[in-house]
Structure 1
Amino acid sequence: MTTEHDPAGADELARLANGVLWPGFLGAELPDWLAAELRDGLAGVVYFAQNLSPHLERLSAAIHEANPRALIGVDEEGGSVTRLETLAGSTAPGAAQLGALDDLAATRATGAELARRVREAGADVLIGPVADVNTDPRNPVIGVRAFGAQTALVSRHAAAEVEGIQGTGVAACVKHFPGHGDTALDSHHDLPRITGDPVEFDRVHIEPFRAAIAAGARSVMTAHLVVPAWGEEPATLNPRVLGMLRAEGFDGVIVTDALDMAAIRESVGIGGGAVRALAAGADLLCVGNPTNPGDAAAPDQDQRDFHAARDAIVQALADGTLSVQRVAEAAARVARLADELAAERTGSSAAEPVDLGGIVARSLTVQGDLGSPAAGLVVLDARRRATLAVDSAASYVVEALAEGEWSRRIDTERATADEVAAAIAGARSAAAGGGSRIVVLVDRIDTDPSQRGFVAAVGEAAPDAVVVNVGLPGTGSGLAVIDVRASSSLGAQAARALLVGRAD
C-alpha cells in the first residue's frame, strides 16, 4: 500500500476520497477550487438556497462539464421543504398533505413532478422522500415532512413517491434510515437517542424503508441518531445499522446525512465522521451546507468543511485505518449510479402535467364552522422560529394568506402579556370596518402551550377569528381551524381560498 509520504500515492488517495464526497458550496457560480476537485473525480455536489439563481441550469452544466459523472443532489420534498423555490415557497404538496389525502396516484404524480423540476435544474438526485414514521408529535425536525404516524400509510406512500421520482431519469434518496420519527431532538443541534424495544422499532420504523427499497429506491440517506439496542454509535457511523440495509438486499448508494450537523461535528468532527461512516458501510458522504454556522461561517467555510472530510479520509487510507478496498467499493457504487442515470435520461419521458393545487386543496381539513366568506384576511403569525431543516417561519406563507393586508409576527414563547394584547388589538383594528377576518397562523398547536395560549387569547377578543395550522393537527383551540399541514405558498393559497370568496 502507498503511504502519505509518496506524492503519487497521495494524489491517488485524494482522487479515491473525492469519489465518495458530496459537499455543499458557497455562491451561484462554480468556484475554481470546486471545479478543480470535480476534474479530480469529486462525486458531485448538493445544492442549497445560496446556490440558486436564474442561471441554475448553467451552473449544473458547468459542474457536469468538469465531471460528467458528477451527481447533483437537491432537497426538494415539496410542502415545507424546498430549495428550488426557496424565495417564493413550494408549489408542490408536502408529505403530510399527501398522507392526509391518501391517494397513491396523487403521491406518484407529485414525485414525478418534483423529479421533473430537479431534472430541469440539471440535477440528478432528489433527496427524498421522507420515509420516517412520525410517532412522536413533539418531533422538531420531521413533523409534516412525514406522510404520517402509521407504518402502513408511510410505507405505501414512500414507495409510490419513489416510483414517481424514478420514472424520469432522477434518483430518489429515501431518508432518514433507520427512522427519525420517534425523537424529540433535532439532530442538527444534538444527538437523539431512541430507547425501547428494538423489535417494535424495526416493525414500525424500518418497514417503510423496506417498501421504498422494494419499489426500486436507488439511494438511502442515514440518520444521526442512536438506537442503544444496536450500539452506542449514531446510525450513520454504525456498521450494524448500515449492515441492516444490505441485509435487506439493498445494493444502492448509502448516503450520509450532512456531516456538518452538530450530532457529528460536535462529537467526532467532520473528518472523524467521514472516516467512521465509510468504515461502517456508507458510500457517499454529504458534507452539508456551509452556511449552517450562520454568522460564525468563514468566507471559505465550504473549502474548510470539504478538506476536513477529504484530508481525514486520505490520512486514514494512508495509515491503514481505513481500507482502500472499502472506499473503492463505495466510489464504484456512486459511479455506477451516475452512469445508470446518464443512460436513463436519454430515453426517459417528461412527467405528465398534474394539478398540484387541486391535490393540496383536497388535502386540507376543517375543524369547526368557517362562517361566511371574508372580504380579506389580517394575519397574526405565531409560528415557531425556523430550524436548519425547515424554514417554518417563512414570510411567503403570510404573504399568500394576507395578500398585502395587515400582518404581524409574534414570538409566543417570549412575548409579554402587554405585547400579546397589543398584537391582538392591532389585528382587531386592521380588520374592523373592512369585512376582513383575523387569522392566527400556527405550526405547533398540538404540542406548544404558548401557541395554544395565544390562540385562546385571540379567541376571547375575536371569537370569529380562524386558525390556519401549517403543522400537525391539534384539537381544542376553541376557534375554527384549517389544517394545511405544510408551510408552503400553495397551502396558504388554498387556505385563503376557503376563507375569502367561498367557505365550502
Structure 2
Amino acid sequence: MSLRRLPVLAGAAALLLTTACGGGGGSRPGERPAQTLSSTDPEAAAAELLAEMSLEEKVGQLFVPVLTGTTAEENADVIERYHPGGFIYFPENLESPEQVAAMSNGLQELAADSGAGVPLFLGVDEEQGLVSRLPFGARFPDAMAVGATRDPEAASGLAAATAEQLAAVGINLDYAPVADVNVNPDNPVIGIRSFGADPELVGEMAAAETAAFQEGGVVAVAKHFPGHGDTDVDSHTGLPVIDKSREEWERVDLPPFRRLVEAGVDMIMTAHVLMPQLDGSQEPATLSPELIDGVLRGELGYDGVVTTDALNMEGVRQTHDDGEVAVRAVLAGADQLLMPPDLDLAYSAVLEAVQEGRISEQRLDESVLRVLKLKLRRGLFDASPADAETAAGVAGNTAHHEAAQRVADASVTLLRNNGGVLPLREGTSVRVLGAGAEEIGAALADLGVTVADSVSGADVVVVGTDGARGDAEQRDLVAQAVTSGSPVVVVAQGTPYDLGVLPDVDAYLAVYSSMEVSRTAAARAIVGEVSPSGRLPVDIPGTDLVFGDGLGY
C-alpha cells in the first residue's frame, strides 16, 4: 500500500464506523441494523464487512457486467438482484459529462441502498488513442506513440489527465495500461496499444501510467497477463496460441508485469491466450491455476485483484459453457469476472459451485477480501458524488488538450528522408491522399502550405496509411502516387511496420496513431514547425530499421 493513500484510507475508515452493515442471510435493503467497524485498517475493516455479507452478496462482488442504457435506474434490478462488484461503461452508455456524472452517482446510490451497501467499481476501457470510450475530453495518441517519445513524463501526463477526466464523471477504474510487449508485426489486437517491443521501455511507461492513475484516485488495471504481444489471432474472435519457451517468455513478456507487481498495481487483467510451454492444461491463461495462482501469485507474489478479460470473447469460450467458464476462472485464481455474456447463468453457476463445495468458501472469501480492500484503499466508501459542472469543465480542460498535442509532437519519428525532401520548402504545393487526408491537409493549410486538388498539380504527394502492411488498397494508393514522379511522403498512423512493404517512398513519418493530434503533429513535422524527435519503439521487418532509430532535421 502506498503511503500517499493513507489520508484517503483514514477518511474511508472513519465513514465506515457508521456504515450500516448488519447481519447476512439475504436481508432486504433497509433491514440491516447499524453496526460499527472497530478498525481503521483497510484489511481489518474489509474482514468485518465480509463477515456481515451473505453468500449471495459475496458472490456478487466477483461480477462486473456491462451497463444498460444511459441512466442508473435501467440497472437497478441488476444491482438489487446480484449485488455486483462493479460495472463497465461502453460508448452506448456515455453521452455527455453531465449525463455520465448523474449515472455514476445514481448507480452508487443504488448500491449503497442494496445488500451490504458496498460501493461499485465503475470502470471503462480508456487507454487513449484507438481504445477510447469517452465521447468528450482530450484525446491523446496511442501507447506506441508514447513509447516513441521515450519520456515517462508523457505517459504519466496522459494518465493524470485521463484520471482527472474519469474521476470527474464518477468513473473510478480504468482498464489500462497495456503492459503487453508487441513483438509480432502481425498482431491484430495489440499493435499500437503497446508501448513497443522492448520489455524495459514497456515496463517503464506502464509503471508511469499506473502511478499517475492511482495517484489520481482511479484504479489502474495492467493487461493482459501473461502477455498478448506475440499473437497473430485476436482473442475476441479466437484463441491465440503462443508457443514460446519459459525462458523466452521470462525475457520478453514477463518484465513489465514483474515491474508493475513490485510497484503495487491495483489490478491485473488476464489474457485469453494459450501458452502450452508454460502450462500443460490446454486452458487459456484466464482459466489456468498454474499461471494465475502459480506464477502471478506464487512466483511474483502478487496479492492484488486479478480480473479476467471480457468473458464474452471467443478466446475463453472454446471448450466450456459460459457458466463453467466463470467457475473455472474463480478456481484458477481470478477475483473479478468481467462481462459474462449471461450474467444470471454465470452468477448461478458460481453460487452453486460454492454451495456444493467445488469452490470453497475460503477461496471465495479470498477474492471478496481483495475486492473490498481495494475499494477501501481507493476511498470508494467515502467518495464524493460527481459534480456535473466540474465534470463539464474537466472535459473541456485546455491544458489536457495541449498536453495531448505535446505528446503527439514528441512522438513523430522520421525514418526516411531521401534527398532531404522534408521539411518542405516555402512555396511547395502538396496533394494529400489516404488515411487522415482531410485532417492532415487542413493542418497543412493552416500552416501556410498550398494544398493541391490533384497529384498532377502538386510538387509533393503526402499519403496517409493505417495498416498498409495488411491492406492492398493502401499499398496500391502509395504505388500510384510513386508513379506520378513527384516525391512521396508517407504518414503512417498505425504501426510503423508499413515501411517494410513501401520500399519506394521518398520520406516516411511514423506517428503511431490516427488521433487528430497525431495528424496535426505530422503536418507540423512536414513543414518543419516540429523537428522529429521520436525514436522507433519496435523493429521493422523487411528493412534495416531497428528499435531506437529515427532521423531529425
With structure 2 as the length reference, what TM-score do the two structures score?
A: 0.73
Q: Structure 1's 364 and 465: CA in aligned 2 closer, same or farther, altered over 3 A?
A: same
Do structure 1's residue 71 and structure 2's residue 113 form an aligned pair? no
Query: What is the deviation of 1:327?
Result: 2.0
Larger radius of gyration: 2
Distance in 1, Cα, partners of 2:432 & 2:382: 47
Query: What is the deviation of 1:130?
Result: 0.6
Indicate the SS of the match to 2:406.
helix
Q: Structure 1's 402 and 29: CA in aligned 2 closer, same or farther, altered over 3 A?
A: farther
How many residue pairs get aligned? The number is: 441
Where in structure 2 are there 5+ consecutive unaligned residues?
A: 1-24, 28-52, 113-118, 385-393, 445-450, 532-553
Corresponding residue for residue 409 of structure 1: none
Indicate the SS of the match to 2:342.
helix
Query: What is the deviation of 1:71?
Result: 0.3
Q: Structure 1's 503 and 61: CA in aligned 2 closer, same or farther, altered over 3 A?
A: closer
Distance in 2, Cα, partners of 1:364 & 1:250: 37
| Contact map agreement 1:375 1:500 (CA 8 A) in 2 | no
Indicate the SS of the match to 2:312.
coil
**CA deviation profile, 1:203-231 (whole Å, cap 9, x unmatched):** 21011001112222000000000110212
| Contact map agreement 2:459 2:487 (CA 8 A) in 1 | no
| Contact map agreement 2:180 2:227 (CA 8 A) in 1 | yes
1:50 pairs with 78, 92, 95, which one? Answer: 92
Indicate the SS of the match to 1:163.
helix
Q: Structure 1's 185 and 65: CA in aligned 2 closer, same or farther, altered over 3 A?
A: same
Distance in 1, Cα, partners of 2:261 & 2:54: 34
| Contact map agreement 1:442 1:469 (CA 8 A) in 2 | yes
Distance in 2, Cα, partners of 1:488 & 1:267: 38
| Contact map agreement 2:26 2:54 (CA 8 A) in 1 | yes
Q: Structure 1's 468 and 26: CA in aligned 2 closer, same or farther, altered over 3 A?
A: farther
Corresponding residue for residue 422 of structure 1: none
| Contact map agreement 1:38 1:44 (CA 8 A) in 2 | no
Amino acid at match of 2:296: L
Distance in 2, Cα, partners of 1:279 & 1:333: 15
Distance in 2, Cα, partners of 1:197 & 1:502: 47
Distance in 2, Cα, partners of 1:257 & 1:124: 18
Query: What is the deviation of 1:100?
Result: 0.9
Distance in 1, Cα, partners of 2:369 & 2:413: 47
Amino acid at match of 2:465: V
2:296 pairs with 238, 245, 257, which one? Answer: 245
Do structure 1's residue 29 and structure 2's residue 66 form an aligned pair? no
**CA deviation profile, 1:38-73 (whole Å, cap 9, x unmatched):** 245211101111111111111111111112510011
2:311 pairs with 249, 254, 259, which one? Answer: 259
Corresponding residue for residue 456 of structure 1: 479
Query: What is the deviation of 1:265?
Result: 3.1
Write the mapping of 1:207-356 to structure 2, written as runs, cut at 5 A: 207-229=255-277, 230-231=279-280, 232-243=282-293, 244-247=295-298, 248-287=300-339, 305-342=342-379, 355-356=403-404
Distance in 2, Cα, partners of 1:76 & 1:124: 12
Q: Structure 1's 280 and 503: CA in aligned 2 closer, same or farther, altered over 3 A?
A: closer
With structure 1 as the length reference, what TM-score do the two structures score?
A: 0.80
**CA deviation profile, 1:76-119 (whole Å, cap 9, x unmatched):** 11222211147x9x621321111111111222222211211121
Indicate the SS of the match to 1:227.
coil
Corresponding residue for residue 541 of structure 2: none
Query: What is the deviation of 1:13?
Result: 4.3
Moved more, 37-46 or 336-345: 336-345
**CA deviation profile, 1:459-503 (whole Å, cap 9, x unmatched):** 213633432211221335222222110121221222233346958
Q: Structure 1's 133 and 15: CA in aligned 2 closer, same or farther, altered over 3 A?
A: same
Query: What is the deviation of 1:319?
Result: 3.0
Query: What is the deviation of 1:344?
Result: 9.7
Distance in 1, Cα, partners of 2:79 & 2:60: 8
Query: What is the deviation of 1:324?
Result: 2.8
Moved more, 21-30 or 184-193: 21-30
Corresponding residue for residue 401 of structure 1: 440
**Identity between Structure 1 and Structure 2 (%):** 34
Do structure 1's residue 62 and structure 2's residue 106 form an aligned pair? yes
| Contact map agreement 1:18 1:37 (CA 8 A) in 2 | no
Q: Structure 1's 346 and 51: CA in aligned 2 closer, same or farther, altered over 3 A?
A: closer
Distance in 2, Cα, partners of 1:29 & 1:431: 51
1:363 pairs with 398, 405, 411, which one? Answer: 411
Amino acid at match of 2:243: T
Do structure 1's residue 380 and structure 2's residue 403 form an aligned pair? no
1:96 pairs with 144, 152, 156, which one? Answer: 144
**CA deviation profile, 1:343-392 (whole Å, cap 9, x unmatched):** 69869xx99967221121011112323334666764323xxxxxxxxxxx
**CA deviation profile, 1:188-210 (whole Å, cap 9, x unmatched):** 01101111211221221011001
Do structure 1's residue 493 and structure 2's residue 513 form an aligned pair? no
- CA-based RMSD of the aligned residues comes to 3.1
Query: What is the deviation of 1:272?
Result: 1.9
Distance in 2, Cα, partners of 1:82 & 1:398: 22
Do structure 1's residue 185 and structure 2's residue 229 form an aligned pair? no
Do structure 1's residue 127 and structure 2's residue 175 form an aligned pair? yes
**CA deviation profile, 1:432-473 (whole Å, cap 9, x unmatched):** 65x696543222245656643442233213633432211221
